[in-house]
């Protein structure tokens, strides 16, 4: 066995890493105790990659499953496990796994050997990783001199009938290869294997397990499977309840729950596809931690060196022409040739290829819910996803949902030269403190971040999963009214037919496949909200107080041109990229004392003010809009996302002599009673029109300061409020004023004009 001095040195190093990883470990253990272990992985791109690999499904299906995992953590989905009692099938369980799992594990176990002294005394574990190359810990084999006193034994195990198998033992050959990194580093030794010392099997019969530099072979909450010789005993497998719980910031180690003993050092740690993800090098008791229900969370926390870190280190040594570089290059070539094949390889070539990973079993229940069964880790039942496994249908339900394959080649997007005589480009984004989502389908030469639709474009804040800026062209002379239900189109509509005086309906939205699912707030963010004090899901009071999918670009704004153009543009406003969580009072304009009634308050007032003037003026205008992101003020909602409290809009037009702009900011805080989940030139400056939105008047410069966007100088110069002697700030009315129906102040001396 490894001596006490070495054990103490390893423990000192590991304990310090465990101290730093403690918050992540405890969070992971809590998710495991709650029966939702995969929620421990909070790096969403990694989770999506692993779910897609594990289920064999599409990226979109992985996103739905990821959302189900998060919803389970929020109490809106349930996990199912085996029920006590007679062994009748009562639904999906945690225990079912395909038999290929056992076959692959058996193949992997062949390459695992027991490191022992020449007299048979145990020292550790290791495994073949290339022809004649063996990997174990540095603290198991520290030097070539130490290797001369050791051997590796294969088949040190029981057969299927419980009989002891005949052992084949081999001496080590450090002259062939000896590469090591100390305890303070990666704690590994790669060593050559020499002649057979005992037994009848040739070394090649045991194959080898290829290593991969890929960093996407695991996610927190997944199962870690170990093949080891604990305490020098016959070969054993540690399966099932061994979840990954943390990884350190250096990308060098993984922490996991498992039962190990001395002698397990050097054992391979596998994921459920039997890819090696770590080299086990330490295990010890963890201070007993209890969850909120008083249940113990774990007994053992182990640490393994990440295989990807070892491969990176070996590749660097080979490139630097270090000692044994030739042997390292041979190993790297073998691993590159093997790719990500599960199970061991043989010198003659890869094993018979396994069939592609089948899709994860999916069960649909009578209540409309969906259950996915993942091997060993978890079974999820998500009632909120009723019907969500199918594509989200478009508004009206008249055509099949095609968002997963939608072709955007015909979208022209926002036109900077839309206003005659002026070029008004999208704002500059160099100063943004967040990450812009990338258009995964952008053509060469296109803006990699612009999402183009019919008559408008959107830039997405990938970190907040919402649009940071929308830009739409509105042709007031060619505007069309698109019926919300049957999608018939009315030419030259009245304001009443446009519906800009009525409350916004809650239509269906769909994801945009051009950006990653985790970069947009989709259906799970809005489904099945709990509004304290309003249990009736259909009551006007609840609807007015829940977060609705608020249009940033009003659905009627881009609906102009031919009937086909108007219909297509209106449909494009129903992507989640154009939605933001807005409380009903704010989105629909309802007064506090009249939920559900049409009104002219908050965001609704800003929307209708802009479109009304465009139609009345019958000219072209461009409009920029979006949320104001303020992490200090925006409350946390689902999945750790924050809800923006304020929204801005800038309208731009040509008054016949120059470019003009007006900026508005609206705040939904005054009407957020309870947090769902407990969490023309003339018309724009007309006194009556300004009175409608006097609460919201701002300046282009203020919007720039709050959003970190940079608009063209022409907008700042043409801002109708910029030179005002008494500029009106974006005020915040008190709820009492809203409830009493107190109108915004209006200047005297001008008779209010009537408009249809």
Q: Is 330 in the same domain as 413?
A: no
Last residue of a domain, one of 292, 310, 338: 338
Of 38 and 152, more confident? 152
My answer on whether 299 and 423 are in the same domain is: no
Residue 595 predicted with pLDDT over 50: no
* pLDDT above 60: residue 401: no
Chain mean pLDDT for the chain: 74
Say whether both 320 and 428 belong to one domain: no
Q: Work out the angle at residue 209's Cα, subtended by the Cα atoms of residues 204 and 211, and round it to the nearest 5 degrees.
A: 135
Q: Give me the DSSP letters along 300-346.
A: EEEEEEEHHHHHHHHHHHHHTT-TTHHHHHHHHHHHHHHTT-SS-BB
Reported as a pLDDT band with limits 50, 70 and 90, residue 215 is confident
Q: What CATH number is attached to the domain comprising 239?
A: 2.40.10.120
* CATH number reported for the structural domain that contains residue 418 in this entry: 3.40.570.10
Q: Where residue 662 falls among pLDDT bands split at 50, 70, 90?
A: confident
Task: Please tell me the distance from the alpha carbon of residue 500 to that of residue 176, in angstroms, as a whole number.
Answer: 80
* pTM summary value: 0.49
259 and 147 in a common domain: yes
For residues 434-455, give the mean pLDDT. Answer: 93
| Residue 671 maps to a domain | yes
In a domain, 729, yes or no: yes
Over residues 110-140, the pLDDT tens digits come to 999 999 999 888 888 999 999 999 999 998 9
Q: How confident is the model at residue 387 (pLDDT cuts 50, 70, 90)?
A: very low
- In this structure, the answer to whether residues 331 and 184 fall within a common structural domain is yes
pLDDT level of residue 259 (50, 70, 90 thresholds): low
Query: Looking at the domain assignment, is residue 92 inside a domain?
Result: no
Q: 161 lies in a domain?
A: yes
Let me know whether 306 and 417 are in one domain.
no
pLDDT at residue 397 in the model = 33
- Whether residue 380 lies inside any domain: the answer is no
676 with 529: CB under 8 angstroms? yes
pLDDT digits (tens, 9 = 90+) for 153-176: 999 988 878 888 899 999 999 999
Please, are residues 269 and 228 in contact by the beta-carbon 8 Å criterion? no
Residues 326, 410 within the same domain: no
Residue 349 pLDDT more than 60? no
Q: How many domains does the chain have?
A: 2
Q: Mapped to the 3 state alphabet, what secondary structure does 121-147 carry?
A: CEEEEEEEEECCEEEECCCCCCCHHHH
Parent domain of 147: 102-338
Q: Which of 295, 322, 338 is the last residue of a domain?
A: 338
CB atoms within 10 A of CB 680: 20
Copy the structure tokens of residue 667. Answer: 């705040």
Within a domain: 3: no
Domain termination residue (choose one: 315, 338, 361): 338
Q: What is the pLDDT of residue 431?
A: 95
Three-state DSSP state, 562 = coil
Residues 315 and 421 placed together within one structural domain of the fold: no
pLDDT in tens, 629-654: 998 888 887 777 888 888 898 988 88
Mean pLDDT of 39-55: 81
Query: By percentage, how much of the chain surpasses pLDDT 70?
Result: 64
The percent of the chain in helix, strand and coil, each rounded to the nearest 5, is: 30, 25, 50
More confident residue, 514 or 669: 514
**Please, which pLDDT band fits residue 314 given cuts at 50, 70 and 90?**
very high
What percent of the chain clears pLDDT 90, i.e. is strictly above it?
Answer: 26
Residue 6 has pLDDT above 50, yes or no: yes
- Higher pLDDT, residue 21 or 334: 334
Instruction: Judge if 551 and 689 occupy the same domain.
Output: yes
């Amino acid at each position: 066995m490894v001596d006490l001095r070495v054990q103490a040195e390893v423990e000192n190093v590991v304990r310090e890493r465990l101290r730093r990883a403690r918050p992540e470990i405890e969070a992971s253990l809590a998710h495991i105790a709650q029966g939702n272990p995969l929620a421990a992985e909070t790096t969403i791109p990694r989770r999506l990659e692993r779910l897609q690999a594990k289920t064999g499904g599409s990226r979109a299906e992985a996103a739905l499953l990821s959302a189900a995992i998060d919803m389970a953590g929020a109490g809106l989905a349930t996990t199912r496990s085996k029920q006590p009692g007679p062994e009748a099938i009562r639904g999906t369980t945690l225990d079912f796994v395909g038999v290929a799992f056992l076959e692959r594990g058996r193949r992997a176990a062949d390459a695992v050997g027991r490191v022992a002294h020449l007299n048979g005394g145990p020292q550790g574990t290791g495994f073949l990783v290339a022809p004649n190359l063996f990997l174990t810990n540095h603290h198991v084999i520290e030097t070539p001199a130490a290797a001369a006193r050791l051997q590796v034994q294969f088949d040190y195990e029981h057969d299927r009938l419980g009989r002891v198998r005949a052992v084949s033992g081999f001496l080590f050959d450090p002259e062939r290869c000896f590469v090591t990194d100390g305890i303070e580093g990666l704690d590994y030794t790669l060593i050559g294997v020499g002649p057979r010392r005992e037994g009848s099997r040739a070394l090649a019969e045991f194959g080898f397990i290829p290593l991969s530099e890929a960093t996407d072979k695991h996610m927190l909450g997944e199962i870690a499977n170990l093949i080891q010789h604990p305490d020098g005993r016959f070969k054993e497998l540690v399966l099932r309840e061994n979840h990954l719980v943390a990884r350190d910031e250096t990308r060098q180690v993984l922490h996991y729950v498992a039962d190990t003993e001395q002698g397990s050092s050097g054992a391979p740690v596998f994921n459920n596809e039997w890819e090696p993800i770590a080299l086990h090098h330490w295990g010890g008791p963890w201070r007993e931690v209890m969850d909120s229900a008083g249940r113990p969370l774990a007994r053992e926390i182990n640490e393994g060196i990440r295989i990807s870190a070892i491969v990176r280190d070996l590749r660097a040594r080979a490139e630097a022409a270090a000692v044994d570089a030739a042997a390292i290059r041979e190993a790297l070539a073998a691993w590159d040739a093997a790719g990500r094949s599960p199970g061991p390889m043989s010198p003659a070539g890869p094993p018979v290829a396994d069939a592609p990973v089948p899709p994860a079993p999916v069960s649909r229940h009578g209540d409309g819910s969906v259950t996915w069964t993942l091997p060993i880790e978890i079974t999820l039942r998500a009632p909120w996803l009723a019907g969500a496994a199918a594509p989200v249908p478009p508004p009206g339900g008249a055509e099949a949902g095609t968002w997963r394959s939608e072709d955007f080649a015909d979208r022209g997007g926002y036109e900077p030269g839309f206003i005659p005589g002026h070029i008004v480009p999208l704002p500059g984004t160099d100063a943004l403190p967040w990450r812009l989502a990338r258009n995964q389908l952008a053509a060469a030469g296109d803006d990699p971040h612009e999402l183009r639709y019919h008559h408008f474009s959107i830039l997405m804040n990938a970190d907040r999963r919402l649009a940071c800026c929308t830009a739409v062209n509105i042709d007031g002379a060619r505007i069309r009214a698109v019926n919300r239900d049957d999608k018939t189109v009315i030419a030259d509509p009245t304001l009443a037919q446009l519906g800009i005086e009525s409350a916004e309906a809650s239509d269906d939205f769909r994801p945009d496949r051009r950006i990653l699912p985790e970069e947009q707030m989709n259906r799970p963010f809005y489904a099945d909200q709990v509004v304290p004090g309003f249990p009736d899901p259909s009551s006007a009071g609840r609807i007015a107080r829940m977060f609705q999918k608020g249009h940033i670009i009003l659905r009627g704004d881009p609906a102009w041109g031919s009937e086909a153009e108007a219909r297509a543009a209106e449909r494009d406003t129903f992507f989640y990229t154009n939605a933001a969580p807005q409380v009903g009072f704010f989105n629909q304009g309802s007064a506090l004392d009249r939920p559900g009634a049409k009104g002219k308050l908050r965001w609704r007032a800003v929307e209708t003010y802009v479109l009304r003037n465009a139609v009345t003026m019958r000219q072209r205008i461009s409009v920029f809009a979006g949320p104001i992101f303020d992490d200090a003020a925006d409350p946390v909602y689902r999945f750790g996302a924050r809800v923006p409290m304020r929204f801005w809009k800038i309208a731009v037009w040509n008054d016949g002599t120059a470019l003009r702009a007006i900026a508005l900011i609206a705040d939904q805080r005054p009407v957020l009673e309870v947090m769902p989940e407990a969490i023309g030139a003339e018309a724009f400056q007309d006194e009556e029109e300004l009175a409608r939105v006097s609460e919201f008047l701002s300046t282009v410069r203020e919007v720039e300061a709050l959003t970190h966007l940079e608009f063209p100088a022409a907008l700042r110069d043409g801002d109708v409020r910029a030179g005002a002697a008494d500029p009106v700030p974006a005020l915040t009315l008190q709820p009492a004023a809203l409830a009493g129906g107190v109108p915004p102040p209006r200047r005297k001396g001008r008779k209010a004009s009537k408009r249809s």
